[in-house]
Structure 1
């Protein structure tokens, strides 16, 4: 695809060479993300970070990525602090705020809302999550993490075996990741969920049409026995009609160290898009996994900054200029990263 000036709204935009190009640029961002070098390639540029749904990691990660490239961030969080609460349309909001920004990241609880906003925007828009639909940057950082984890074992992405566990109906991160995996050969995906929270049928069908080997199950232990990656997700309670309905499924599939030891291969990587639900009746990833070296959830969040830096650099067409606007720093604390 042509990155410069483009919106990033869906995984469907990418072919495999596009993904590999993003990852190559992300690799080059490491000294900047690790504070070993400073670049001002986006000096004077403004990111409009518009989050109309709760977010910690995604919002701060995008903001940090932009700051690390030398740009400035302006934020709107929640409907109540925006003109949308006064009845302003997405069209009007897009026309106004794209006049204040050079690029916009948007999260919104309604499916298709970010694409609607982007259609009226005068600057590139990146989808930070639209309802239960998609979360493209999360899928990219997830795959980037998988690539790095497997590379340490002398493996590539071909013939990957991955189990996705939990709320697959409403989990937008797994929706995007499943679409992304369709670009690679020999991938086996085991979808583990209660019957009521199964992956949407159209996504499963598209995966199979792309050549993925897809299995569906409601049995955790058997499903994680022979995989490279266990990708756990929380119950998306904000998508349910009531708290009581969400509570029916909370804690259904709990991965802890004893379950991991009894069922997983020794080097199986554990991933989660976060936040993990640490309440006693949930704990889809138990705290007793924190010392497991195969727990990659915090490496995922670090990788998210790299991938989002790459997306900004590509969309704003400065990927080849980053080093020219850089200098080494002397305040870097050795061993911090």
Structure 2
């Protein structure tokens, strides 16, 4: 693994497999059954110039569970970039303060530009419509865990990606990550104008995967293993595009009726969140809450061990974890959510 995590392109299959194994070792710590201080004294700089809840807090929690501490900056208004400071200057300054940096920025390629000036590890927390590599890794980890529970294998699986495939950076990273594995079937369904970029479709197909593009969910998906649905990224639209996509059809909504009528009892549903739960938003429907096929909260929980694994690997303490473990002394509930089910 390189000194930064900016894109899935920097990962080989061996790197991915190592991170998956390392994340599994992190689970007792992430689930608050054990503690470690392996990063005691280390400082994480979180630079988020675009709205975030899950990614920012998840990275914070992951670093803290390894014993480190966090310095947070959110929004351009509260940074020196509002005064015209360059990415180069900001990165060099922050490298003097922090041992690792997570950055989210609205412009594609900005995090790579930021990282190019320094040797302190930088993790891409999302660069506009570009990539979100840590999200793809936690998505893959979730799929692996869900498949293990269901007795399935990733090789030959059928994965549906639907929603905003043009601007959804999570699907850009995930489809590249899946393409490193044995051949599978990937179906892409999006509203017209929001299709997966053609260079990603070509890349995946060139690696031996079967890729299909459709314009509707009105098909038989009874052999479907995974539904990965995304929010329409309206914040990336021009004014003209906003008018064109003002009324996204309900035919692209993943809900209980879609799963019951077109999928199977073992199809799992993923979403990178946040989902827009307001009436008429036509995002992943809340009528699936409580359904065991809905894996979105197990998915977010998995972000902690995966991001812990990323930090441990980049900061080269992955071999020290076993030496630093101790028991948890505070109260931890058996189920985090009142609606969580035992699976």
By the TM > 0.5 criterion, same fold?
A: yes
Distance 1:248 1:336, change over 3 A: closer
Distance 1:264 1:332, change over 3 A: same
Distance 1:121 1:251, change over 3 A: farther
Q: Report the Cα distance in structure 2 between the residues aligned to 1:225 and 1:168, rounded to whole angstroms.
A: 22
Superposed displacement of residue 194, structure 1: 1.6
The one of 186, 191, 196 aligned to 2:193: 196
Tell me which residue corresponds to 1:307.
Answer: 306
The reply on whether 1:236 has 2:233 as its aligned counterpart is: yes
The reply on whether 1:23 has 2:27 as its aligned counterpart is: no
Superposed displacement of residue 251, structure 1: 4.6
Tell me which residue corresponds to 2:64.
Answer: 67
Q: Report the Cα distance in structure 1 between the residues aligned to 2:221 and 2:191, rounded to whole angstroms.
A: 15
Q: Report the Cα distance in structure 1 between the residues aligned to 2:288 and 2:141, rounded to whole angstroms.
A: 22
Secondary structure of the structure 2 residue equivalent to 1:314: helix
Q: CA RMSD in A?
A: 1.3
Q: Report the Cα distance in structure 1 between the residues aligned to 2:77 and 2:329, rounded to whole angstroms.
A: 43
Tell me which residue corresponds to 1:107.
Answer: 104
CA contact (8 A) 2:99 2:120 kept: yes
Unaligned runs of 5+ residues in structure 2 are 337-343
Structure 1 residue runs of 4+, over 6 Å off? none
Tell me which residue corresponds to 1:79.
Answer: 76
CA contact (8 A) 1:106 1:129 kept: yes
Secondary structure of the structure 1 residue equivalent to 2:77: helix
The reply on whether 1:264 has 2:263 as its aligned counterpart is: yes
Superposed displacement of residue 332, structure 1: 3.7
Tell me which residue corresponds to 1:319.
Answer: 318
Distance 1:83 1:29, change over 3 A: same
Q: Report the Cα distance in structure 1 between the residues aligned to 2:45 and 2:257, rounded to whole angstroms.
A: 44
Q: Report the Cα distance in structure 1 between the residues aligned to 2:82 and 2:245, rounded to whole angstroms.
A: 27
CA contact (8 A) 2:220 2:263 kept: no
Q: Report the Cα distance in structure 1 between the residues aligned to 2:129 and 2:249, rounded to whole angstroms.
A: 18
Secondary structure of the structure 1 residue equivalent to 2:193: helix
Tell me which residue corresponds to 1:143.
Answer: 140
Superposed displacement of residue 285, structure 1: 1.2
Superposed displacement of residue 121, structure 1: 2.1
Scaled by the length of structure 1, the TM-score of the pair is 0.96
Cα offsets for 1:93-140 (capped at 9, x unmatched): 001011100000000000000000000123010000001010000000
Cα offsets for 1:137-158 (capped at 9, x unmatched): 0000001100110111212211
Q: Report the Cα distance in structure 1 between the residues aligned to 2:8 and 2:81, rounded to whole angstroms.
A: 28
Distance 1:127 1:250, change over 3 A: farther
Cα offsets for 1:292-321 (capped at 9, x unmatched): 101000011000111000000000000111
Q: Report the Cα distance in structure 2 between the residues aligned to 1:266 and 1:232, rounded to whole angstroms.
A: 18
Tell me which residue corresponds to 2:150.
Answer: 153
CA contact (8 A) 2:186 2:212 kept: yes
Superposed displacement of residue 28, structure 1: 0.4
Cα offsets for 1:4-62 (capped at 9, x unmatched): xx100110111111101000000000111111111110000000000000000000000
CA contact (8 A) 1:107 1:130 kept: yes
Please give the residue correspondences for 1:247-258 in structure 2 after superposition, counting only pairs within 5 Å.
Answer: 247-249=246-248, 251=250, 253-258=252-257
Of 245-254 and 180-189, the range deviating more from structure 2: 245-254
Unaligned runs of 5+ residues in structure 1 are none
Q: Report the Cα distance in structure 2 between the residues aligned to 1:63 and 1:157, rounded to whole angstroms.
A: 30
Q: Report the Cα distance in structure 2 between the residues aligned to 1:74 and 1:251, rounded to whole angstroms.
A: 42
CA contact (8 A) 1:95 1:122 kept: no
The reply on whether 1:179 has 2:176 as its aligned counterpart is: yes
Of 120-129 and 323-332, the range deviating more from structure 2: 323-332
Tell me which residue corresponds to 2:94.
Answer: 97
How many residue pairs were aligned? 334
Superposed displacement of residue 223, structure 1: 6.0
